[in-house]
Amino acid sequence: MTTVSGPRPYPSAAPSQDTGNPALVSALSCVGLSPREFVRAINDRVVAVGHRRLDVTAGYNWCRGAVPRSPLVRHVAAAVLSDVSNTGYTVENLWGQAPAGVADPLQSQWATDDLVGPRDLPDVLDSAASWSSGSTNVATMRAATPDQLSAAVWDAMRQQDRRVLGSGGDHAERVDPPLMTVHEEHLKSLRRLDDKTGGGPLSQRQVRIALFDVITLLRTSSYTPDIRTRLLRTAAGLAQLGGWMAFDGSLAAAAQRYQLLALRFAQAAGDHDTVANVLGMLAYQHAAHARPAEALRFATSAVEYSSHGLPLVRARALGRLATAHASAGDIDAFRCAADQCRHLIAQRTPDDPAALYYFTDDQLAAESGHALVELASSNPRFTRKLLAEAADLLSPMVSEGTDGEYKRSAVLHGIHLARARLLAKDTDATAHILTSLAGQLPGVQSLRCRDLLINVRRSAGRPLRSAHRTDAIEAVDQALSAA
């Protein structure tokens, strides 16, 4: 564990370019980040909440003694170093104490704060109201460690509901079914927005505002037991969507907190389908971050929790388990889970959860194609076969989604198709797909897609230049600079 020194005096005037910032230099050395990599990690967070991207050379100036003017940047810098090192860096550690009379409006927060241990539902609603009111800047939040997150999930799945909600006081306004329907339809519209554009800052804000509205109704209004359940289910759906958008916006800590709230609300509503779906989503997110052990843990829990649910709910959990096995490099376990998922997904019913509207045969094929690309990377003996199979599965989803309802998914799966073609050393196909992706990127606000595309472009740079396909590189660079 990195040792963090005590606070340094905050520069009262211009930073000293002679002495530099030894605390920051030491911290970067301890975590193995260059100044450029440090700024890129900060940019992932500040851009996700709607702020301008920093020049990647800014980190060198900070090491020489300059202090970021923005409180947000200073706090995000401390959070980035804390997450990478699993150590509690603070703004004071890196840049010293603020001058007397200078207010710092930002405070760092853990994803699990107020969401660990036995909590009454009203207390959880109070924490959720503070979170969704916008008083906490999600970019400065610290991600939970695997043990912290597992403990918080365990507690959330055992949420106690010992106090009655819905009295709201003598003058409370009543939530009637027509208003409840408006909020449920709003959730559906926000899901469709995510399908098209991804988790951009404005989309995330719309979900947060909608969640705050529903939580306010739960805390201050009166309603029947049936409306209470519908309010909690809608809050769970909004929190789950917020977690997905935060993940899509490269805000891992915020994604964790949203999902923990979704678990608490769903458990209080007796909504076991959503509980299983959130566990599966946590598994998917850990697989995407190359953490197969945690991915398998949450996916296995999702399968167990959904074992008595509807076929589509069980299929969704098994699909997440297949993805988790792929992240661990286990071909046989992946195929077993994927086959079971494929069998169950064909048994759709009119009572299937609204949140799983997107989970079709085509979606499963695309997810399986992505998983096969991961397996090809970790199983060199079967690389050629796995990549060919992946391309067959990914191609239809990419071409059909270009102008449809799932534009963000089309871009995401197109990136994985480009990876498959690149790994297969098919430079012409790689160039063709990258050129197509460059044309699709406008309007897709997914920072995750942007980061994945940057990684593919870097890997493809030399092969494409050797094949005289610099046109594809230029097209992607232009699209990324305009995004």
pLDDT, residue 98, reads 60
Is residue 295, in this structure, part of any structural domain at all?
Answer: no
Is residue 282, in this structure, part of any structural domain at all?
Answer: no
Query: Long-range contacts made by residues 372-377, C-beta under 8 angstroms, separation at least 24?
Result: 372/326, 372/420, 373/416, 373/419, 373/420, 373/423, 374/326, 374/327, 374/329, 375/326, 375/329, 375/331, 375/334, 376/420, 376/423, 377/423
* One domain for residues 368 and 473: yes
Q: Under a CB-based contact definition with an 8 Å cutoff, are residues 319 and 359 in contact? A: yes
* One domain for residues 266 and 135: yes
Tell me which amino acid residue 384 is.
R
What CA–CA distance (Å, rounded) separates 415 from 430? 10
Q: Which of 33, 30, 89 is nearest to 59 (CA)?
A: 33
Boundary residue ending a domain (237, 270, 303): 270
* One domain for residues 79 and 137: no
Domain count, the chain: 3
Is residue 232, in this structure, part of any structural domain at all?
Answer: yes
pLDDT, residue 387, reads 96
Is residue 136, in this structure, part of any structural domain at all?
Answer: yes
Q: Which domain holds residue 193?
A: 111-270
* One domain for residues 35 and 130: no
* One domain for residues 239 and 148: yes
* Bridge partners, residue 120, by sequence: 160
What CA–CA distance (Å, rounded) separates 421 from 417? 6
Is residue 297, in this structure, part of any structural domain at all?
Answer: no
pLDDT, residue 428, reads 94
* One domain for residues 385 and 465: yes
pLDDT, residue 13, reads 35
Is residue 448, in this structure, part of any structural domain at all?
Answer: yes
* One domain for residues 391 and 483: yes
pLDDT, residue 237, reads 97
> Which regions of the chain are under pLDDT 50?
1-15, 100-102
Boundary residue ending a domain (47, 64, 92): 92
* One domain for residues 86 and 121: no
Is residue 221, in this structure, part of any structural domain at all?
Answer: yes
Largest CA distance in the chain: 76
Integer Rg of the chain from CA: 23
* One domain for residues 120 and 257: yes
What CA–CA distance (Å, rounded) separates 367 from 120? 38
Boundary residue ending a domain (211, 237, 270): 270
Q: Under a CB-based contact definition with an 8 Å cutoff, are residues 459 and 482 in contact? A: no
pLDDT, residue 201, reads 87
pTM for this predicted structure:
0.86
pLDDT in tens, 244-281: 999 998 899 999 999 999 999 999 999 999 999 999 99
What CA–CA distance (Å, rounded) separates 365 from 358? 12
pLDDT, residue 171, reads 67
* One domain for residues 176 and 266: yes
* One domain for residues 469 and 366: yes
* One domain for residues 123 and 225: yes
pLDDT in tens, 283-325: 999 999 999 999 999 999 999 999 999 999 999 999 999 999 9
Is residue 104, in this structure, part of any structural domain at all?
Answer: no
